[in-house]
Amino acid sequence: MSAPIQQTPQQTPQQTPQQTPLQQFFGDFAPKMADLIGDVLFADVWEREELSKRDRSLITLAALIANGDTESLPGYLNRAKQNGVTKAEVAEVITHLAFYAGWPRATSAFRVAQKSFEES
């Protein structure tokens, strides 16, 4: 998945439910995956009070970078920005991870982050 997609069902005037962005992304191939991400990850885990959304964003960015997941990184960078994470903090997370996750992963993450902050 390339981005965290908010699950916001909408209905047409005929009351026919439309697909959420998650359902559109996974389509008929993995509808349960869309349900789990929307209902468990975003509606439950991200809403728990034990960590702020800002902290969850920093943790998620670190996990994505450490795993080399640059495909999902842009969406989660956008979410992090919405949750108050600054450009300087993202750069510091990536710099810190260069020593733990490796230089190639950090370099790839820097490219994605630079582009994300240029576009905003």
pLDDT digits (tens, 9 = 90+) for 9-61: 444 444 446 888 888 888 889 999 999 999 999 999 999 999 999 999 999 99
In a shared domain, residues 41 and 59? no
Q: Given this model, what pLDDT does residue 7 score?
A: 47
CB 97 within 8 A of CB 109: yes
- Which pair of structure tokens corresponds to residue 31? 């509808």
Show which of 47, 62, 83 is a domain's final residue: 47
- The reply to whether the predicted model has a pTM over 0.85 is no
In a shared domain, residues 63 and 42? no
Cα separations (Å) of 73 from 10, 68, 70, 112? 27, 9, 5, 7
In a shared domain, residues 90 and 33? no
Q: What is the average pLDDT across 68-95?
A: 97
Enumerate residues 6+ apart whose C-beta is below 8 A from 91: 110, 113
In a shared domain, residues 33 and 65? no
In a shared domain, residues 43 and 67? no
In a shared domain, residues 59 and 86? yes
In a shared domain, residues 85 and 71? yes
Q: Given this model, what pLDDT does residue 5 score?
A: 53
In a shared domain, residues 75 and 20? no
4: pLDDT confidence band, cut at 50, 70 and 90?
A: low
Average pLDDT, the chain: 89
Q: What is the average pLDDT across 68-73?
A: 96
CATH number at residue 91: 1.20.1290.10
Please report the DSSP string for 62-109 in residue order. HHHHHTT-TTTHHHHHHHHHHTT--HHHHHHHHHHHHHHH-HHHHHHH
Give percent above pLDDT 70 in the chain. Answer: 86
How many domains in the chain?
A: 2
Q: Report angle CA 70, 89, 48 to the nearest 5 degrees.
A: 80
